[in-house]
Chain A
């Protein structure tokens, strides 16, 4: 008790200091963000605020066709010297105006009465200067409204436009006819909001597909047990660049073989149907589903050769598929009329396949060679004496380090154009070789290194780095790469989706139940099988819900990606705001709100159903 009392003054001082510091921080915050309500009090600001809010509250969605009744009545400003002018009797069969008196001085008030107009209509009552009743110049801002019998009365102030001639007062009463219909901005908004939704859809789909494999190598629990001996790691590192180059060259060669038949649709069709059947039977033979005893070396070699041929055939049929898709697409675009977009879709699809196939081949060959060489490394370190393994380790680690750093140096050269090979080629190679040497000397010959965690950290760093770049900034880059339009938006949102989903997904992988993982591993399943049978079933529900959530985000992002030229509704919104056309902007805002809200609803329904 006593102790507490002693401590209390010091505590009070601390609290006081904390409050003071808080005050200081907020005061500086006000200064920095320029908090100032002075402007809000000014009448001009308030007026425009009210105007904008009222405009926003009345989205320019519907309009009526209008019928106008225009009636002129003669009036003399300053009565003529000859005395009161004679005014012809108006035609009382239709709407007509009576002005009393028929002449007055400028600035004086005349009484205007209208008869026989359509009931309950409104419109301006204006002064037409000059002697011509068809003159389009109109003065004044008065509005009149007819009663149920089509009559109105108004005290009209004559403008300062004295003239010898007869001038006119014109009533223009507008009447809505027919049923309401959508305005031009409503139609424009519809087109753009459809574009927006599909932009978000494509970005989400592409992003999801690429994020899934990334999420597995960014998951700590899957990567932690991955350990390999140094020789194996070094050889697989070497395998990547060699495999990529070889694979790319081979696929380009296959493409060259395939080109002569590219335009021939029957050949396309036969290749696309027959070759996969051939591939299927080849695979059945070369990859037996179950094998209890070890196959002989010659059989293994034969299978390996078959797989290689199958791979070549596979790429050939991919190219043929691309050509077929392109050819059919062209045909369709010409002959399908209003469904021409289907033809265009197939053409673009074929184009995409033909562009990514060589890259795919490079990556596939890189991965295959890398894993193959990794296995060789594994065997080498299992079957040799520690001294020999050490020698291998040094040799391969030096090579791998040199190649990796040399390639990084070349990337730097390409980016910054330094032009000095000592800095960008020989230097890095030397450093890489030295690093490899050090690692090989330090690690014991048969020790396994936690390569999984290294890949994990590299992937995480890469994901976090890219994630911190806003999609809007990425869009600017892609607008330069592929031009202004929704495609740039798809690319930017897609890339951002990949990196952020990969992170969210990987956290889900990290939180799965370990039991089934253990059970599947205990059956002898390898890493790939463990992922497919123990990890994937567990992560499907959170993956679906995160994908939905991401689609939601993408829809919202795609509404503003148009600000930088990325397509979608943002472009229209920005344009209307800049033109001070707030009623049209309001339509776009309404559309965004409806789409986002219904997305929210749909995703919650779907989640409930499938998760």
Chain B
């Protein structure tokens, strides 16, 4: 169970990216986060694994307050939270396999990382994960030789290596075409169903929300403006979320 309580983030310039946001995410839920660009979706997801330090508020995960965790505790928490990014964020010059293995870094003793050693089981596991996302044949290619859809699958395999209990997906399909978008979303759905991983996924397209999400939260200018089931988003709610002049596409 993830509980967000009165979360506020004010950036150095005074911009209020999150304004007193509170909601709960039960385990095994597929939660979509929607809102305009700049409404605070990315900030919200990054506050949960503290890539961004929240200004105030609490994030309780299974009862433990993430905002108060020490660096050592943070390492333990982060390795249980996988993250998938809009721009994939792979290390371009490294091999696909190395990129996937990087998901184990939270478990590996840093001393062994110095000489770039991973246990044999991890390498086996990495190959399995690549197989699961359907690109086992690319394991020894350089990451930047892959197409966008393939790169995002590597990103998902990296998150899977963490044996995550939760995955934060920050607009995972915004850089991909509709066909690829569905294939990536299906992988996330599969992980959510089969592995029982909680997924928090920010999305732009409402048809994807309707198709994949169990529940939706919507942000507008840092404020929580909607919380409920996807089918509850009618035209009125849509205008509340996206503004008076917005029109529905797709």
Contacts and interface: CB of A to CB of B under 8 A. Distances in A.
A526 interface: yes
A541 to B, nearest CB: 8
Interface string B158-189: 10011000001000000000000000000000
Interface string A274-297: 000000000100011111100000
A522 interface: yes
Nearest to B163: A292
B90 interface: yes
A423 to B, nearest CB: 41
Contacts of B155: 519
A539 to B, nearest CB: 10
B119 A533 contact: no
A516 interface: yes
Given A524-B106, A540-B93, A519 B83 contact: yes
Interface string B82-106: 1101011111111000100011111
A288 B117 CA distance: 12
A524 B103 CA distance: 8
A522 B91 contact: no
Given A290-B119, A524-B79, A519 B108 contact: no
Interface residues of A, number: 30
A258 to B, nearest CB: 25
A363 B155 CA distance: 39
A515 B85 contact: yes
Contacts of B82: 522-523
Contacts of B103: 523
B56 to A, nearest CB: 15
A534 B81 contact: no
B109 A287 contact: yes
Nearest to A375: B72
A409 B155 CA distance: 54
Given A515-B89, A516-B91, A529 B78 contact: no
B49 A522 contact: yes
Interface in A540-597: 540-541
Given A289-B117, A290-B107, A292-B107, A533 B102 contact: yes
A516 B89 contact: yes
Interface string B43-72: 000000101000000000000000000110
A519 B79 contact: no
A524 B75 contact: yes
Contact of A521 (B51, B110, B114, B122): B51
B79 to A, nearest CB: 3
Contacts of A382: 70
B180 to A, nearest CB: 19
Contacts of A292: 107
A520 B51 contact: no
A515 to B, nearest CB: 4
Contacts of A287: 109, 111-112
A519 B161 CA distance: 13
Contacts of A525: 102, 105-106, 113
A290 B125 CA distance: 14
A528 interface: yes
Contacts of A532: 113-114, 116
Nearest to A307: B111
A88 interface: no
A444 to B, nearest CB: 16
A529 B110 contact: yes
B76 interface: yes
A549 to B, nearest CB: 20
B113 A291 contact: no
Contacts of A283: 111
Interface centre among A289, A521, A522, A538 (most CB of B within 10 A): A522
Contacts of B104: 290, 523
Given A524-B78, A538-B91, A529 B113 contact: yes
B55 to A, nearest CB: 15
Nearest to A539: B93
A470 interface: no
A153 B131 CA distance: 97
Contacts of A370: none
Contacts of B74: 524
Contacts of B93: 537-538, 540-541
B193 to A, nearest CB: 23
A533 B117 contact: no
A522 B122 CA distance: 18
A65 interface: no
A518 interface: yes
Interface in B132-170: 155, 158, 161-162, 168
Given A515-B89, A525-B102, A288 B109 contact: yes
A378 interface: yes
A288 B107 CA distance: 10
Contacts of A291: 107, 109
B118 to A, nearest CB: 8
B91 A534 contact: yes
B105 A529 contact: yes
A283 B104 CA distance: 20
A529 B104 CA distance: 11
Contacts of B116: 532
Contacts of A534: 91
A540 B94 CA distance: 11
Given A516-B90, A529-B105, A523 B162 contact: yes
Contacts of B119: 289-290
Contacts of B78: 521-524
Contacts of B94: 533, 537
Contact of A519 (B85, B106, B111, B112): B85
Interface string A478-514: 0000000000000000000000000000000000000
Given A515-B87, A516-B91, A533-B105, A523 B158 contact: yes
Nearest to A512: B91
Contacts of B98: 533
Given A522-B51, A524-B75, A528-B114, A289 B108 contact: yes
Nearest 6 pairs of A and B residues by beta carbon: A524-B106, A524-B79, A525-B105, A515-B89, A524-B78, A519-B89
19 contacts: A287-B111, A287-B112, A289-B112, A290-B104, A379-B70, A516-B89, A518-B85, A518-B89, A519-B102, A520-B102, A523-B162, A524-B77, A525-B113, A526-B71, A526-B75, A528-B110, A533-B102, A538-B93, A540-B93
Given A532-B114, A538-B93, 10 more contacts: A288-B109, A290-B104, A290-B122, A515-B88, A516-B91, A522-B49, A529-B113, A533-B91, A538-B91, A538-B92
Interface of A: 283, 287-292, 378-379, 382, 515-516, 518-526, 528-529, 532-534, 537-538, 540-541
